[in-house]
């Protein structure tokens, strides 16, 4: 029987179990063990991908959890901890001769052994495998080849962010310039894009879109995520869902509205006034420094007006970022209803109102239904919920 699950595949590791930094800008409490705890007991995420698992100290911590019986490696890939299955992944920066700017890509492997072998291979092509998102000295195609030979999953990361992404600056026109299109399992939209924006790009038609948090702290887990139809929680089921095999698939994408992103609109760099992309100077202050927004960049790349059948994309923000939900309210909600996923998706309006003011309960319902109103961001300033 098919079941539905909440999945977030892009979570960083701030510190290893020796307290050493992995993602230097990540939070100190963002450790492997804490991610397991947060995902299973507070967020209610069924499957999470940790994308700094190439770091040997992270692998040691995982091995220790397995040796102590806290976590179990699954035959079909992935590691189970209580109600959550974790996948081992690695975010890597590629900047080969074919790229016109650095791009980030995600590689996942089914087992700890395969991830360890990947680290050994990477250490010949990378200066420091202990740190997150390091530069790979090789071509993107070479990396894809390795991932496919080792039965991994390959996903270009946050493809529309203005920096370090495929369509940010990575390619001039098409992804074929840089990647082998047959060795891509899905496309990660990233915080600055949604399904509608991406769908104008004809070459993305064959791929499933994934929406992930890119969390640098525990609170940001499930900032973006998806609901998937799977028969069980493991690596092979995820692969089937990404390729829409035998009923497995992404049912809904949940994420920030692109308008919330800090580079959504084209604006004047000096005064942040919104300007036309064709304008040569700002109408408000006269400055010639214009910062092109993601919206206009995607417009330039559009090649198709044909919209494909896609899962719905529901705009959300993390529960703790919803106006009216401060730390105390958030903890009250978790105490009463268990997990963030339960609060956002399941608890009835009436039950919410027994714990929080009516206005805040209505806002949670608006988020559940995708009807929050948003004021667009740009030029480095985030959008806002109205």
Give the integer Cα–Cα distance in Å for 205 and 136.
28
What residue number has its CB nearest to Zn ion? 104
Residue 38 or 91 with smaller CB distance to Zn ion: 91
Residue 157 or 260 with smaller CB distance to Zn ion: 157
User: Rounded to the nearest 5°, which phi and psi values hold at 97?
Assistant: -60, -25
Of 29-37, 95-103, 209-217, 259-267, the segment contacting Zn ion by CB under 5 A is 209-217
Q: Quick one: tokens of 237?
A: 């089921």
Applying CB under 5 A, among 104, 223, 295, 368 the residue interacting with Zn ion is 104
Q: Residues 115, 109: contact at Cβ < 8 Å?
A: yes
Residue 51 or 341 with smaller CB distance to Zn ion: 51
- Min dist. Cβ of residue 163 to Zn ion (A): 9
Of 102-110, 144-152, 172-180, 265-273, the segment contacting Zn ion by CB under 5 A is 102-110
- Min dist. Cβ of residue 192 to Zn ion (A): 12
- Please give the distance of CA 109 from its chain centroid, rounded to a whole number: 17
Of 29-37, 188-196, 212-220, 357-365, the segment contacting Zn ion by CB under 5 A is 212-220
- Min dist. Cβ of residue 158 to Zn ion (A): 6
Q: Quick one: how many helices (H) and strands (E) in the chain? A: 11, 17
Give the integer Cα–Cα distance in Å for 323 and 329.
11
Give the integer Cα–Cα distance in Å for 218 and 37.
10
Give the integer Cα–Cα distance in Å for 360 and 363.
5
214 binds Zn ion (CB under 5 A): yes
Residue 164 or 248 with smaller CB distance to Zn ion: 164
SS3 219: helix
SS3 50: strand
248 binds Zn ion (CB under 5 A): no
Residue 104 or 368 with smaller CB distance to Zn ion: 104
Q: How far is CA 55 from CA 17, 116, 130, 156, 177, in A?
A: 11, 9, 4, 20, 30
**Positions 15 through 74 that interact with Zn ion (CB under 5 A):** none
8 binds Zn ion (CB under 5 A): no
Residues 6+ positions from 305 with CB-CB distance below 8 Å: 200
- Min dist. Cβ of residue 105 to Zn ion (A): 9
Q: Residues 375, 259: contact at Cβ < 8 Å?
A: yes
Binding mask 322-361 for Zn ion (x = CB under 5 A): ----------------------------------------
Q: Quick one: tokens of 152?
A: 């991994």
- Please give the angle made by the CA atoms of 34, 237 and 317, to the nearest 5 degrees: 50
Residue 8 or 237 with smaller CB distance to Zn ion: 8
Binding mask 141-180 for Zn ion (x = CB under 5 A): ----------------x-----------------------
- Min dist. Cβ of residue 272 to Zn ion (A): 25
Interface residues with Zn ion (CB under 5 A) are 91, 104, 157, 214
């Amino acid at each position: 029987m098919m079941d539905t699950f909440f999945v977030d595949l892009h979570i960083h590791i701030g510190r290893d179990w020796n307290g050493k930094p992995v993602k230097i800008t990540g939070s100190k409490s963002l450790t492997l063990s804490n991610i397991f705890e947060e995902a299973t007991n507070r967020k209610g995420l069924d499957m999470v991908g940790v994308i700094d698992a190439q770091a040997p100290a992270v692998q040691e911590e995982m091995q220790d959890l397995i040796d102590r019986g806290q976590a179990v490696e699954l035959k079909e890939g992935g590691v189970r901890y209580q109600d959550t299955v974790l996948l081992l992944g690695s975010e890597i920066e590629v900047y080969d001769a074919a790229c016109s700017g650095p791009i980030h890509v995600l590689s996942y492997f089914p087992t700890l052994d395969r991830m360890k072998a990947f680290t050994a291979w990477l250490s010949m092509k990378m200066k420091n495998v202990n740190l997150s998102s390091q530069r790979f000295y090789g071509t993107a195609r070479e990396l894809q080849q390795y991932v496919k030979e080792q039965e991994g999953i390959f996903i270009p990361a946050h493809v529309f962010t203005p920096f370090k992404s495929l369509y940010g600056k990575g390619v001039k026109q098409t992804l074929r310039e840089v990647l082998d299109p047959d060795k891509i399992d899905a496309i990660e939209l990233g915080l600055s894009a949604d399904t509608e924006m991406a769908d104008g790009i004809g070459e993305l038609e064959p791929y499933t879109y994934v929406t992930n948090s890119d969390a640098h702290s525990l609170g940001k887990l499930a900032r973006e995520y998806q609901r998937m139809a799977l028969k069980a929680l493991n690596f092979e089921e995820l692969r089937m869902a990404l390729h829409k095999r035998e009923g497995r698939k992404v049912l809904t994408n949940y994420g920030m509205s692109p308008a919330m992103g800090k580079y959504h609109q084209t604006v004047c760099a000096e005064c942040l006034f919104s300007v036309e992309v064709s304008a040569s100077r700002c109408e408000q202050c006269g400055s010639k420094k214009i910062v092109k927004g993601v919206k206009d960049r995607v417009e330039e790349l559009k090649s198709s007006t044909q919209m494909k059948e896609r899962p719905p994309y529901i705009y959300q923000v993390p529960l703790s970022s919803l106006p009216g939900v401060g730390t105390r309210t958030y903890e009250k909600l978790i105490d009463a209803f268990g997990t963030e996923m339960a609060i956002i998706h399941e608890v009835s309006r009436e039950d919410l109102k027994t714990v929080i003011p009516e206005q805040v309960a209505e806002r949670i319902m608006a988020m559940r239904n995708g009807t929050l109103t948003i004021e667009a961001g740009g030029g480095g300033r985030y959008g806002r919920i109205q």
